[in-house]
Amino acid sequence: MAATGSTAAGESAFYVTTPIYYVNDAPHLGHAYTTVAGDVLTRWHRQRGEKVWYLTGTDEHGQKIMRTADANGVTPQQWCDRLVEEAWKPLWSHLSIANDDFIRTTEPRHTERVQEFVQDLYDKGEIYRGGYEGPYCVGCEEYKSPGDLLEGDLCPVHKRQVEWLKEENYFFRLSDYGPRLLEFYESHPDFVQPASARNEVLQFVRQGLQDLSISRSTFDWGIPIPWDPKHVIYVWIDALLNYATAVGYGSDQAKFDATWPANVHLVGKDILRFHAVIWPAMLMANGLPLPGRVFANGWLMVGGEKMSKSNLTGISPRQLTEHFGVDAYRYYFLRAIPFGQDGSFSWEDFSARYTSELANDFGNLASRVAAMVGKYFDGALPELAAAGPAEQAVADGLAEAATRADTLIGDNLDFAGGIAAIFDFVKQVNGYLTEQAPWKVAKDESPQGRARLATILYTAAESLRAIAVLLNPVMPATCAKLWASLGAEPHLGPLADQRVGDAARWGQLPAGAQVTKGEILFPRLEDPKS
C-alpha cells in the first residue's frame, strides 16, 4: 500500500472510494476486483495531471464480525486487527494498489465523528425511538422484507436461512426522503450506474420507502448511540460514514472541503441500495453535498453463484498471481469482464488471454522491436527519416486509441472497452511491422534502405512509448520495464509523470535513446499441474 496523493485547501481532488470490506475473513477475488478497478481509475486520473484521493478500508463492527471472532476464540477487535494487518493490507500492497488512505471503522477518527453525525440527526428530529420485528440476514447485516426472501426463508444473496429478530430500535425517517431522492435522480441521471442499477434503484424508491432502523440493542459490538449507550449504531449507518470521516468530516474542514464529495463510489451490486438510497438520504438530512456517482459492479461468479467465503467459492488472488503475475492479474479481470456486469472467472480464459494478448501481441512486440534496434543500430534508436502513409496511419491509430481509452476509462469506467482500444493499437503496430518487414528491408544497405529501416523501427519504438503510458495505470510494473528498455526516462522523465493526454503526441522518444532488450515482459506459463 502506498500513499501517493495529497490535497490542500483550495484544491479539488478526484475522490474515489471502494466499499469498506467486512473482515470476517481474508479477501477473495471479488474484493480485489473492485479495488483494482478503483486503482486503475485513480492512476488514470493521476496521469491526467489531476489531484486524486483514493480510499479503501475495512468495516469492523456488527453481529457477523462478533460471531466470527467468538468462533475463533478472540475478541472482535483482536480478530479485526489480525485480519487487517495479516491479510487485507498485505494483499493490496501485493496487487500494487496505490490507495492514499486506509480507513478502519474501529479508529477513533471514525467512531467519534459517527456519533456526532447521528447526534446531529437526532437533534434535528430525524431519528425517533420505536420497535422492530422481522427477518434479518446476519451475512448482509440487513433486515429483509418477506418478499425479498427465497423459498424456505432463504436470503437471496447468501442462500442461507434468515433469523427472526425483535428489538427496540431508533429509526431514521427515511420515508420522508423518497420524493427528494426521486427528484435528485431525475436531475442527476448519471448518479447511479450502470443503467440496470439505476432502474433497480428507481423502482425500489417509487414503491415507497420505510423508515430505517439505525440501532441494535441485542448485541454490543458497535459504536454506542451517544444519548442511549445501551444501543449501538447499525453497522450500515456506521460504515457509510467512512467516506466522509476519512477525509476530515468534523475534524479537518480544509481537507474535507478539498476532497468532498466523492466523485465515484465503487460498490458491489448487492450493496447498491445502501449507497444509492440510504446514503444520499443521510447526507440530505445533514445538509451535506451528495457524491457524483455510485457505480455498481457485477459479481464474479463460480459455478453460477456469487463468489464469497461463506459459500466456500472464494479464490485467493495470490493463487492466480503466483501463476500469472500481478500485472496480468490486474489486466485480466478488467479486460475480460465489462465493468458493471456479472462475469465468471475461468482459468482457461485467463491462460488463453495471457498467451494471446499479453505474451504474443504485447510482449512479443516489445521484445522484437528492442532486438531489431539492437541488431541493426547497436541499440541506439535511429532517427525518423522519411515517414510515409504507413507511418501516418500508425500515428492516426494511436491518436484514436488514446482518445477512446481516455474517454472510456477515465470518464465512463468502461475498463474493458478502454483496454481493448489500446490493444487494437498494439495489433495495428504488429500488423505494421509484418507489412513493412524490417528484417527484409535490413538487407538493403543503401542509404535509402537504411533510412527506411530507421523509419520503421522508430515508428515501432515510438508506438511502444505511447503504449507504456496508456497501459501504465493497468500494468505499472510491466510498463516500467518497457519504459526502461526504451531508454525513455533520461529524456522524458519518470513514467508516472507522463500524461495520458499527451500520449499520442508523436515524436517524443528522441533519436539516440538507448534501447535494450530487457527481461521478457510475459514469460511462458508453466503447467500449473507440474
Catalytically annotated residues? 28, 31, 137, 140, 155, 158, 306, 309
Q: Do the annotations mark residue 80 as ligand-binding?
A: no
Distance CA(84)–CA(106), nearest Å, equals 12
Nearest to 250 by CA among 122, 350, 114, 435: 114
Distance CA(186)–CA(49), nearest Å, equals 32
Cα(first)–Cα(last) distance of the chain, in Å? Answer: 33
Which residues, at least 6 apart from 125, have a Cβ–Cβ distance to it below 8 Å? none
- Going by their DSSP bridges, the two strands 293-297 and 228-233 should be labelled as unpaired
CB 308 within 8 A of CB 314: yes
CB 279 within 8 A of CB 238: no
CB 136 within 8 A of CB 143: yes
Task: Take residue 161 and report the three cell numbers written for it.
Answer: 436461512
Distance CA(481)–CA(477), nearest Å, equals 6
DSSP assigned state of 271: G
Amino acid symbol at 108: P
Quote the distance between the C-alpha of residue 177 and its chain's center. Answer: 30
Distance CA(424)–CA(64), nearest Å, equals 46
Q: Do the annotations mark residue 275 as ligand-binding?
A: no
Instruction: Annotate 443-464 with DSSP letters as a single string.
Output: T--SHHHHHHHHHHHHHHHHHH
Tell me phi and psi for residue 123, to 5 degrees.
Answer: -65, -25
Per-residue b/e over 231-243, b at no fewer than 16 CB within 10 Å? bbbbbbbbbbbbb
Per-residue b/e over 250-276, b at no fewer than 16 CB within 10 Å? beeeebbebbbbbbbbbbbbbbbbbbb
Nearest to 387 by CA among 457, 492, 468, 445: 457
Radius of gyration of the chain (CA): 26
Beta bridge partners of 149: none
SS3 436: helix
Q: Do the annotations mark residue 265 as ligand-binding?
A: no
CB 475 within 8 A of CB 501: no
Task: Take residue 259 and report the three cell numbers written for it.
Answer: 476532497
- Return the C-alpha torsion angle 54, 60, 61, 63, nearest 10: 130
Tell me phi and psi for residue 316, to 5 degrees.
Answer: -75, 130
- Binding-site members are 137, 140, 155, 158
- Binding-site members for Zn(2+) are 137, 140, 155, 158
